[in-house]
Every structure is written in C-alpha cells, then in structure tokens.
Structure 1
Amino acid sequence: MTVETQAESTAPGSARDRLLDAAEALIYAGGIHATGVDAIVRQSGTARKSFYAHFESKDALVAAALERRDERWMNWFIAGTQRRGKSARKRLLGMFEVLREWFASADFHGCAFLNAAGEIASPEDPIRIVARQHKARLLDFVRTQCDAFAAESQMPARHAARLSRQWLVLLDGAIAVALVSGNADAALDALTAARALLDTEAKAGADAKSASDSGPSTRGASSRSAVRKSTSASTSSSTNPRPPSRRSAT
C-alpha cells in the first residue's frame, strides 16, 4: 500500500467529500487559477486517481464545490436573518448585522461567487453559471423580505422588485468593501444607507395611501373650482378686451 493510498483509507469522509472540502478551502483563500490539482489532492488526503474518478476536470470540481457552498451559505444567511426580528424591516436591516459577523471572522475572503466569477471570462462557463445561480437565490430571498416590507409599510407592491435589486447591490457592495478595506464596519455603513432607503420607501408608501384616501370627491371639488376660475377669467376677458396695440391698429 502506497503512502498516498494509506492516507486516503485513514482520512475521515468519502474521497469525493474530501476533495470538495479541499478545493473549496484552497480556492476561497487563494483563487481558482492559483490552486492546482496537486495541491487539492494533497490537502484532501486522497489519491490522484480518486480525483479523476469523481471529476472530469478541475473546473468541474470547482463548480461542484461552489454548488455545495451555495447551499451551506444560503442556509446560514437565511437562518441568521430570520433571527433578527419578526418584522420584515428588522430582518432586512438585520442582514447587515449577519454580514458584519462574517466580515469579522478570521477566514473571511469576500464572496466566493464574486471571486470565482471574476476569474472566469465566459458567462457560459459552469463556474460562472453557479455564481449567477447563487446571486439569483440570494435575490429571491431578499425579494420575499421586500414583499413582506411592502405589505407592512403600505409601499406599492410593484416597488418591491426594485427595492430587492437595490438591496442586493448594498449587500454585495458591503462584502466587496469589507474585503478590500479589511474593515468589518463596512456592513454598518451599508446598514445606514439601507435604513435611509427603507425610510424613503415607507414615506412614499404613506404619501401614496394618503393621496388615495383623499378620494375622488376631493379631486372633483378641485376640478370644479378650477373650471369656475377658468370660466370667470374667460368672462372677464370678453367684457373687458385689451385695447389693440399700436402695431395692430396700423
């Protein structure tokens, strides 16, 4: 039995799982292009033949590792968000508190999906597709919270889709700034902007409801008043015509 095979037989977990674990850890910390198959195999404690038995290429391994990370990350983020409060407003704002905890951790290296997408040129590459699907899942979850906020604040429901897209920009922006700056408080800066955005949307919703509650009778009265003023002005103009100008008289 070779040393490589012996290590594989004694290490915990299946060879495939260990390859996925190693690939995710190494690529998240150092990037896709900087991480070779040999390094992944070595860290996983598997034989190289196990890699080829489970994956047709390094890109296939990376895509599978990202798919698994997507599931785990979304479960973590959703659970953390749900714990932040019973109202949709509290949950939406709580997302940035969840992110700040992540930013402050020793193994934070930004968004694995944005990082991966930045290394892959083709939008049809399986790695880019996984990254795109992750952002779509995150946007879907944010949208459920924005829909709930719209119902709470009487914001027009049609605004929820726009708000959810803006929210995703704030989330990803905070992640990017925290990665580059090394400052976990980027989440708090995004939180301040997010709170102002919700206040603006809530006020717009309240104003729209107030205008609707005024009813057609008020609008009708205003219209009738405008008609009376217009009629009065017209009558006054016809009984007191302006004298012709000197030019028209000639």
Structure 2
Amino acid sequence: MATDTRTDTETETQADASSPGSARDRLLDAAEALIYAGGIHATGVDAIVKQSGTARKSFYTHFGSKDALVAAALERRDERWMNWFIAGTQQRGKTARKRLLGMFDVLRACFASEDFHGCAFLNAAGEIASAEDPIRIVAREHKERLLAFVRTQCDEFVNESSVNGTSGTSGASAINHRHAARLSRQWLVLLDGAIAVALVSGDPDAALDAQTAARAVLDAQTAGPASGAKPSTGTTAEPASRKRPPSRRTAT
C-alpha cells in the first residue's frame, strides 16, 4: 500500500488550485461574508481560510494580516455597494426630488432581504477603536463617497427648485448651494438612521418612516423660506402611492 508523503502545505496548495476563482478573491469573499454576518472580532483567520477553500499560505501571501484582509474586503464591498445604490437611485425618477426620496425605496428592498445585517461599514467602525486604523479609514471613506453622491442629488434639487421659481430671486434665494451642503448631511443621517432602525427592529418599513421625514425636509426647504414664513411643524400626509406595503418581518 502506497504511503502519501505529501506535506500539509502541498496538500493545501493542490486544494487551493482545484477550487474555482483566484485564492485572493475567495479569501475576500469568505472574509466579507463571515465578518458581515458575525463581526470582525468573532471571525478568526482559520474560519476564513476554511470557508474560502484556500491554503493558509495563500492568506499570508496575499494579505499578511487579518486587518489587511478585512480592509481589502470592505474596499471591494464599498465599490459594489455604491454602484448598486447609485444605479438604484437613478432608476427612481427623472427629478432630483424623486431620486432623493427613492433612495429609501432602494434601501427598503435591501432591508427586506434574508441576509441583511445592517451597514457593514458602521458595523466595522463600531468594532475598531482607533480612527487611524485602516478599517476605520475605509469605513469613513465609504461614508464620504455616499455623502458626495447625495450632494450631487441635493445640488440638482436646488437647481430644479430655482428653475421652478420656488426659491425666489437669485439675490435672496431661499434654497441655495449652501443649503444643499447642509441638506446632504441631513440626508446621510436619515439614510444611516433608517439602516440602524431596520437592523435593530427587523422591520424594513423603517425606510418608509425615514422617507416620510425626508419628504418633510424637502417641503420645508422649498415652501418655508421662500414665503418668508417659518417651516410648518405639522405632519405631512403621505400620498396614496407611498402607503406602506405589509411588513415582511415582525418588529421587536
């Protein structure tokens, strides 16, 4: 009977080569999936290597450390998530107002999915203490990219409002690009707030609650200052087209 004299490294390398996809990509896939579902500290290198079907040597060759792997996985997720969110937003309407409000419809579809575990970048930042850690930096850069995209939509909203005559004269504009910068920051808070509430409550309709608040913000931007009156503090009724669909989850 022949004796198998292969070393563990040789065996791992052969298994590595027989699996589909590059070892680096499979390590990134495994790290992203496990960390998003269970957290950074709760996920060990051994679990990542095992799920990826790669050799442990490949992990050290491509990344060298768990933190470097996590940062790289988040960078790749950032690119994919932003492409998805931008495309979904652009499909929500021809006006900036419709696209801004449509962002919450895009998020609701994500909230209703089986594998929704909140914002991967907020989750990661919450586990890392140092603001200069590469993982925290990737999380911060993701939010900066999201804010920059939201700002483009807020700028367009301002321009549309000016063209429609709701912002008064150019010398005394009630809605201007200074307001757009502030509006974009408020919008990011609403987006992240909806994500956090949906995660904790398990209710995807958190997106619709945030959308209702967002609609009131836009109405106040256009109607309140332009007429010289204080923005209304009353409740803005939801149009029939925005009635909530039945929740697919039970709120906790």
Name the TM-score class by shorter chain.
0.7 to 0.9
**Contact 1:8–1:15 (CA under 8 A) maintained in structure 2:** yes
**Higher helix content, 1 or 2:** 1
Find the partner of 1:192 among 188, 204, 212: 212
Deviation at 1:7, TM superposition (A): 2.4
Would you say 1:79 and 2:95 are equivalent positions?
no
Which residue matches 1:160?
Answer: 180
Which residue matches 1:93?
Answer: 101
Find the partner of 1:150 among 130, 148, 158: 158
Residue 114 of structure 1 aligns with an amino acid whose one-letter code is L
**Contact 1:28–1:112 (CA under 8 A) maintained in structure 2:** yes
Which residue matches 1:112?
Answer: 120
Matched position secondary structure for 2:224: helix
Alignment of 1:61-72 (within 5 A): 61-72=69-80
C-alpha separation in 2, matches of 1:52 and 1:3:
17
C-alpha separation in 2, matches of 1:4 and 1:103:
38
C-alpha separation in 1, matches of 2:45 and 2:193:
32
Residue 10 of structure 1 aligns with an amino acid whose one-letter code is S
| Structure 2 runs not aligned, ≥5 long | 1-5, 163-174, 229-252
Would you say 1:172 and 2:180 are equivalent positions?
no
Deviation at 1:8, TM superposition (A): 1.1
C-alpha separation in 2, matches of 1:157 and 1:59:
39
C-alpha separation in 1, matches of 2:64 and 2:13:
20
Deviations 1:11-42 (A, max 9, x none): 11110000000000000000000000000000
C-alpha separation in 2, matches of 1:35 and 1:190:
32
Which residue matches 2:27?
Answer: 19
C-alpha separation in 1, matches of 2:225 and 2:33:
45
Which residue matches 1:182?
Answer: 202
Deviation at 1:3, TM superposition (A): 4.6
Runs of 4+ in 1 over 2 A off after TM superposition: 1-7, 204-208
Question: TM-score under structure 2 normalisation?
Answer: 0.81
Residue 140 of structure 1 aligns with an amino acid whose one-letter code is A
C-alpha separation in 1, matches of 2:136 and 2:176:
34
C-alpha separation in 2, matches of 1:14 and 1:116:
25
C-alpha separation in 1, matches of 2:180 and 2:35:
35
Matched position secondary structure for 1:63: helix
Would you say 1:52 and 2:72 are equivalent positions?
no
CA radius of gyration, larger in: 1
Q: Indicate how the Cα distance of structure 1 residues 191 and 173 shifts in structure 2: closer, same or farther if over 3 A, else same.
A: same
Would you say 1:132 and 2:140 are equivalent positions?
yes
Matched position secondary structure for 1:158: helix
| Structure 1 runs not aligned, ≥5 long | 209-250
Matched position secondary structure for 1:106: coil
Corresponding residue pairs, total: 208
Deviation at 1:153, TM superposition (A): 1.3
> Once superposed, what is the RMSD of the aligned Cα atoms?
1.1
Question: TM-score under structure 1 normalisation?
Answer: 0.81
Q: Percent identity?
A: 81
